[in-house]
Amino acid sequence: MNTLRFNTTINCANCVRAITPTLNGEKAISSWQVDTENPNKILTVSGDLSAEQVVALIQEAGFEARPA
């Protein structure tokens, strides 16, 4: 299992709600959280996905992400 961190454009509670179905629906993700208080809006994902796969999921949901 990997723990990956990303700088994102997920910047508020509504954004977190918007991304929740995408991340919760991915069976390879065991847990995730977004620190919207951090200036870089850090997304932490634990699971069996590569950084590229997580970035693709975030982009599908309408946000941007890059490895932190």
Q: What is the pLDDT of residues 18-47, one digit of tens each?
A: 999 999 999 999 999 999 999 999 999 999
Q: What is the pTM of this model?
A: 0.94
Residue ranges covered by each domain of the chain: 2-67
Query: Please, what is the average pLDDT of the chain?
Result: 96
CB 29 within 8 A of CB 49: yes
Task: Tell me the fold of 2-67.
Answer: Alpha-Beta Plaits (3.30.70)
Question: What local confidence, expressed as pLDDT, does residue 1 receive?
Answer: 87
Interatomic CA distance for residues 35 and 33, integer angstroms? 7
